[in-house]
Amino acid sequence: MTQTVLVINSGSSSIKYQLVDPETGDAIAKGIVERIGEALGTIKHVHGADVTEEELPIPDHEVGMREVLRLFDAKGPVLSEAGIVAVGHRIVQGGKYFDGPALVTDEVRDLIERLCPMAPLHNPAHLKGIDVARELMPDIPHVAVFDTAFFQQLPEKASTYALNAEVAEKYAVRRYGAHGTSHQFVSREVAKLLGRDDLKQIVMHLGNGASVSAVKDGKPIDTSMGLTPLEGLMMGSRTGDIDPAVVFHLARQAGMSIDEIDHLFNKESGMKGLTGETDMRSVWGLIGNDEDPETQAKARVAMDIYINRLLKYVGSYTAELGGLDVITFTAGIGENDWRVRRELAEALEPFGVKIDVEKNEGRIGEPRVVSTPDSKVLLLVYPTNEELAIARQALTLL
């Protein structure tokens, strides 16, 4: 029988799941439970062409997970016959404790709990998923796969802030990075695709949350997210890099509380804060709308800031890498937004980067080269697949 892994991404009010065949990469079934804790929750379960959508009260994660298991048995594939050898749990913050996947024991669970202050929105929600799934599927090994694990290999010069060392040590303040599962998966797949281990790579994971990493000979040497996913690129609703003194300024001058500033920086800034829109398709819509020149101009400036931030990271990471072989674009924007890829590539033209305009605009969905044969740097689009990466990592422990 085919071996499969059930991958679970448990959020504060949602549970995403996917039954993955780690060998072929196929998602045999997948779904999402949303609005847990609200008066009415929703579940969507997809098995092949069969899509089931239900609305029902889902007071907590336990009910949510039980409903998922019920849907598997009712709509297929029946779990006891699905060849599940592991449950893989996505965990955002693994701190200094985890540099790879870990079999979930009570001790591992406690460490994830201890890290809650470092990821207050994520780790507590992951723990709910782990607890419920372990209870409902006690005979299957559960594996935690950490978003930060890949970047535990960062050299100290990239992982350390120039913050007072005693304070940093006492409060575990350092750069942990995020999206590590994706950066690791994509950089490895690119190395395989090109048949080379000795690559100087930049990986751009551009989704609603966005990060960029520099990978040399398969190891990460720098990444744009830091203690939390707030640092680095401009994002859908996050500021990315900003002078930390803005916090002092807003606290003193605007009388804002720390929680208000946290919310402002994470949820009301970035593209949303500059244009009112988080989705890049909507931002391009504003840029194309000649009937509202004021909004159009603001959106164009926001896009210029977005591209300029990407450009700065390419420049600094190329210097850190000591050269550059390939830039790979992945995630929602990286895979779909050909204009972003094109504007960045055009800004890099003075360095011999050449984009193939036609290939770049073609439909993506599979790995493809979008640079011209004479470009000094290869430009690639490689769809990320975090569920598959989690499933494969989980298998390595069995």
Q: Does 207 bind ligand ADP (CB under 6 A)?
A: yes
How many CA atoms, within 13 angstroms, populate the side-chain half-sphere of residue 105? Answer: 4
Measured CA angle at 17 (ends 2, 282), to 5 deg: 125
Q: Does 7 bind ligand ADP (CB under 6 A)?
A: no
Q: Which of 209, 226, 270, 273 binds ligand ADP (CB under 6 A)?
A: 209
Q: Which is nearer to ligand ADP, 204 or 324 (CB)?
A: 204
| Residues in 47-86 that interact with ligand ADP by CB under 6 A | none
361 is in an annotated binding site: no
Minimum distance, C-beta of residue 37 to ligand ADP, in the bound complex (Å): 21
Contact code string over 161-200 relative to ligand ADP, x by CB under 6 A: ----------------------------------------
Round the CA-based radius of gyration of the chain to a whole number and report it.
Answer: 22
279 is in an annotated binding site: yes
| Residues in 274-303 that interact with ligand ADP by CB under 6 A | 278-281
Q: Does 236 bind ligand ADP (CB under 6 A)?
A: yes
290 is in an annotated binding site: no
| Residues in 319-338 that interact with ligand ADP by CB under 6 A | 331-333, 336-337
Minimum distance, C-beta of residue 109 to ligand ADP, in the bound complex (Å): 25
Q: Decide if 147 is catalytic.
A: yes
180 is in an annotated binding site: no
Amino acid, res. 34: E
Residues 6 or more apart whose Cβ sits within 8 Å of residue 310: 204, 212, 233, 340, 344
Q: Which is nearer to ligand ADP, 62 or 279 (CB)?
A: 279
Q: Which is nearer to ligand ADP, 189 or 337 (CB)?
A: 337
Q: Distance (Å, rounded) from C-alpha 277 to C-alpha 237?
A: 9
Q: Exactly one of 26, 50, 106, 147 is catalytic; name it.
A: 147
385 is in an annotated binding site: no
How many CA atoms, within 13 angstroms, populate the side-chain half-sphere of residue 65? Answer: 23
Q: Does 383 bind ligand ADP (CB under 6 A)?
A: no
332 is in an annotated binding site: yes
Residue ranges for the binding site for Mg(2+)? 9, 386
Positions annotated as catalytic residues are 147
- Residues in contact with ligand ADP by CB under 6 A are 207-209, 236, 278-281, 331-333, 336-337
Residue ranges for the binding site for substrate? 90
